[in-house]
Chains A and B, each alone.
Chain A
Amino acid sequence: MGFIVGWIRFLGRRGLRFFARLGRGHLFLLNLLAALPSLLPRPGLVVRELYSTGVRSMSIIVVSGLFVGMVLGLQGYNTLSRFGAAESLGALVALSLVRELGPVITALLFMGRAGTSLTAEIGLMKATEQLSGMEMMAVDPVKRIMAPRFVAAFLAMPLLAAIFSAVGVLGGYFVGVGLLGVDSGVFWSQMQANVGWRPDIVNGVIKSAVFGIVVAWIAVFEGYDAVPTSEGVSRATTRTVVNGALAVLALDFVLTALMYGAG
């Protein structure tokens, strides 16, 4: 009997902790959004964070975009040529990249490259009591530290996703046209005939912006919510990757269903 009560109590405690975290996360997001106007007089803060999150993620985004595009070119050609439709390679590469792979892979890479460092940085600031120190000096750490990082990560994501897709298309072009001998004109014309501005490209940008908000929010919140010890910071960094990846992939399904589900 005591075992069952203990088990139910365990479930309840886990549930309460989960919902408390969820609530703290949303309150934190509200705080972040409320702090956004205070950034307007000081855009320099955001620019500096854009440098460390956006610019320094460029190399990994460009290189992986190129390779993903090249793999799509190879795989797509192999499969399409079996059906005698190798001419559609351009459309296949561009649609896969712009609709799905661009936003999703960029979000996952961006989380690993920039999100984890945000979490670790903020968590360590908390562990070394820099955040409390700021509060003592009447500086709001949400306005000074978290809001600029949140905005920078949110702004960087759509730009990085666009770069990823564009580079990927070029990678597919190199493999498809350069290596496998698909006609260059057919490659581009098939792509242009099948990729739409509003349904494909704009939806891709919307996706990447939503992922940007989610990744930035999770990364900053996990740092802010970390247990202020070295173990707590390491756990928070792990949670950023796990929760962020789950959130991005689940949201991707929801967004795709909303955008393309109705046919």
Chain B
Amino acid sequence: MPDTRAVEIAVGMFVAAGLAALFLLAMKVSNLSSFTAPQGYVLSAEFQNIGGLKVRAPVTVAGVQVGRVIGISFDNTDYEAVVKMAINPKYDKFPVDTSAAIYTAGLLGDKYVALVPGGAATFLKDGARIKLTQSALILEQVIGQYLFNRAGGRK
């Protein structure tokens, strides 16, 4: 067995390599780097149906991500889903008549929230609620409607 100094150096390098591997897994492989504690101001929106929207789904404007969904709950009085979103404080100029919609990325991709700014002169503040919303598209409903319309049109 080599002398103590060489052993200690080798063990030190081994531990460093192990920690470096763990760091690589954390930063490069997992989504830890893109996940910071929900910061920024919070907006909420009520949807009739959120489809498969999940917490931490992206919130986009014009296709650019500006925030994340931080909470999904159910409002027991008006039976709607309440989606809370943390928006990057850099983007603080959304008019009060901004609308929110839930779309799907690609045909089978994940759901995300898209905001479409309106034209009002006052801006949404922390904790504000977006009033204009459009629910997620449920494929079964669309197909059902399509079949229903075809059946009705044939008469």
Residues of A within 8 A of B (CB): 44, 47-48, 50-52, 54-55, 58, 94, 98, 156, 158-160, 162-163, 165-167, 169, 188, 191-193, 195-197, 200-201, 205
Contacts and interface: CB of A to CB of B under 8 A. Distances in A.
Contacts of B18: 158-160, 162-163
B21 A192 contact: no
Interface residues on B, range: 20 to 34
Contacts of A166: 20-22, 24-25, 29
B77 interface: no
B4 interface: yes
B10 interface: yes
Contacts of A201: 22, 25-26, 29-30, 32
Given A163-B18, A192-B34, A98 B28 contact: no
A55 B25 contact: no
Contact of A47 (B7, B24, B29): B7
Contacts of B29: 94, 98, 165-166, 169, 191-192, 195, 201
Which residue of A55, A94, A193, A201 has the most chain B CB atoms within 10 A of its CB atom? A55
A165 B1 contact: no
Interface string B57-99: 0000000000000000000000000000000000000000000
B11 interface: yes
A193 B29 CA distance: 9
Contacts of A196: 30-31
A156 B8 CA distance: 14
B31 A55 contact: no
A192 to B, nearest CB: 5
B147 interface: no
A206 to B, nearest CB: 13
Given A51-B7, A159-B19, A163-B21, A200 B30 contact: yes
Contacts of A205: 22
Nearest to B35: A197
Contacts of A94: 29
18 contacts: A47-B8, A51-B14, A54-B14, A158-B18, A159-B18, A159-B19, A162-B18, A162-B25, A163-B21, A166-B21, A166-B25, A192-B29, A195-B31, A196-B30, A201-B22, A201-B25, A201-B29, A201-B32
